[in-house]
Amino acid sequence: MLINTGIPTKEQVLSVFPPAERLEKGPVAVIECFQRIPCNPCQTACRRGAIKPFEDISDLPVIDGDKCNGCGLCVSMCPGLAIMVVDMSYSKDKALVKLPYEFAPLPKEGDTVTALDREGKPVCDAEVIKVLNTAAMDKTPVVSLAVDKEFIYGVRHFGSAGVPPAPYNEVSSQPDDISIICRCNDIDIKQLHDLIAQGFTSIDEIKRISRLGMGPCQGRNCVPLVLAELSCAMGKNVSEISPGTYRPVTRSVSLAAIAAYSESKETLNE
């Protein structure tokens, strides 16, 4: 699922690729932008007007295959590194894939690297044809790889040859019993759930029974977490639950500072 993992499905990838006839004609940009966010550098970067003007800044870019010549200006402009250029006319059996690459060290031209797919799994070996890193690209170098034509729908990234990619593990978003809610007074989520089950259902009650929110951080970290837990437990919106009594923000002051202040007052009075 794209929303959970950031990895688009095969259908989603195919939906943004230009048709095969256009790919055969020469280099063209492929924009894998699936989420509506207010962002338009690709549209303003294109000097040929190949990305259709946005009616709304959140519009998804739509590329005009007839106008795009695969120059790659938009590749380094996209803050999400969502754009690549595919050139099926590179040679008889190889295609050229231009990828944005914000990693160190940069490969050198002529290197052999391992091309990776969208999940980070190895696809094939690829030769580095060109590495572009000009000042105008603002530290988003574009690396051109020659890969077999059959792999153009798979290759999206690359790693050093011979280095196995780190395995992808889905991280559980479920807290375990010892997930800490209050860092200052050592309240974990199990204790909080027990308190809520006992009927302490407001921040002020929980604060008085457990000292949660009364440590040196003054509730900056725990109160939002408790509000979220109360909201889940009571089925209420967070905005309907009182965030408790806030007292003026204080911070520890050294006795020397207080003494110096009172001394300066005494001299004033004299």
Partner 1 sequence: MYTYYIIKNSERGINLRIEAHPILDFKRGNPVSFTFDGVRVEACDNMTIAVALHAAGFKGISESMLKKRPRGLFCAIGNCSSCMMVVDGVPNVRTCLELCKDGMVVETQRGKGALI
In the complex with partner 1, the residue whose CB is nearer, 42 or 222, is 222
In the complex with partner 1, the residue whose CB is nearer, 49 or 216, is 216
DSSP assignments along 139-197, one per residue: T--EEEEEEEGGGTTT--EEEETT-PPPPP-PPP-S--TT-EEETTTTEEHHHHHHHHH
Query: What is the nearest approach in angstroms of partner 1 to the Cβ of residue 36?
Result: 26
**How far is 97 from 91, CA to CA, in rounded Å?**
12
CA 6 to chain centre: 9
Query: What is the nearest approach in angstroms of partner 1 to the Cβ of residue 230?
Result: 21
In the complex with partner 1, the residue whose CB is nearer, 92 or 139, is 139
Residues at the interface with partner 1 (CB under 8 A): 102-106, 139, 178, 183-186, 215-217, 220-221, 252, 254-255
Residue 190 tokens, joined = 């199990």
**How far is 119 from 85, CA to CA, in rounded Å?**
19
Query: What is the nearest approach in angstroms of partner 1 to the Cβ of residue 102?
Result: 5
In the complex with partner 1, the residue whose CB is nearer, 237 or 252, is 252
Query: What is the nearest approach in angstroms of partner 1 to the Cβ of residue 217?
Result: 4
Count of C-beta atoms within a 10 Å radius of residue 145: 28
